[in-house]
Amino acid sequence: MKKIILFLFVAMLATSMCFAQSKFEPQVKVGYDLGIDDDKNQSFGAEFLAGYRFNENFRLGVGTGISWCKHLYEKAGVSSITDEYYKDYKETALYVPLFVNGKFNFIKGGVSPYLSLDLGYTFFISCSDYADENDLGFMAKPAFGVDFPVVNGNIFVELGYKYQKRDWPLIEKADYSQLSIAVGYSF
């Protein structure tokens, strides 16, 4: 709990420092994540990032968001909860990530391809009783995207890979991976 409070304090401090600078660059985005391993999980959500642009090529920021997630596990077996046979298993939840983001644009101004990296921690809000023992943790999401300039900012699209650490007694290897697609606006 102390680590979470410290992380939130640092994130708020960094955000307030960014507001004091003329190079403050907030962004909003919506994204869809699709499971690419045995857990055919899907999620849809929105994120906000408060960033500081150090130069025309590099931005560093902190972000948060919320995602509604639907997980489908395709392996058949016997449920340890109900002691009944099942063909697949479904779960819904809300995920709240807190992360640090680094972004590197290859071209200064105009249409600009970029690489970005989110590193952080994801909190789990269960939408079902049987998923209460689910614990999330470390999250990493490298992405490739393109900025398209508009009147007062940039519209961007990106494609990424998301790794999510997860501990859950019902599944032996609970960590999962997703393909991430997003569109957003940088102010």
89: closest CA among 107, 80, 76, 99? 76
Average pLDDT over residues 83-97: 71
- The mean pLDDT value of the chain amounts to 82
**How confident is the model over 97-111, as pLDDT tens digits?**
999 999 999 998 889
Torsion sign (Cα): 37, 38, 42, 48: negative
The model's pTM is 0.77
CA angle centred on 159, ends 51 and 153, rounded to 5°: 40
Is 171 in contact with 29 (CB distance < 8 Å)?
A: no
CA angle centred on 143, ends 180 and 126, rounded to 5°: 40
**How confident is the model over 37-74, as pLDDT tens digits?**
766 788 999 999 999 999 989 999 999 999 998 766 55
| Rounded Cα gap, residues 160 and 178, in angstroms | 8
Q: What's the Cα-to-Cα distance from 132 to each of 93, 126, 140, 166, rounded to whole Å?
A: 10, 6, 23, 13
Q: Is residue 175 very low, low, confident or very high in pLDDT (cuts 50, 70, 90)?
A: confident
Phi, psi (rounded to 5 degrees) for 131: -100, 10
Q: Is residue 18 very low, low, confident or very high in pLDDT (cuts 50, 70, 90)?
A: very low
Lowest mean pLDDT among 20-29, 106-115, 123-132, 144-153: 123-132
CA-only gyration radius of the chain, Å: 18
Supply 51's token pair.
């960033």
Is the pLDDT at 156 greater than 90? The verdict is: yes
Q: Is residue 126 very low, low, confident or very high in pLDDT (cuts 50, 70, 90)?
A: confident
Strands (E), the chain: 24-35, 42-53, 58-73, 77-78, 85-86, 89-105, 112-126, 135-150, 153-167, 176-186
Q: Is residue 162 very low, low, confident or very high in pLDDT (cuts 50, 70, 90)?
A: very high
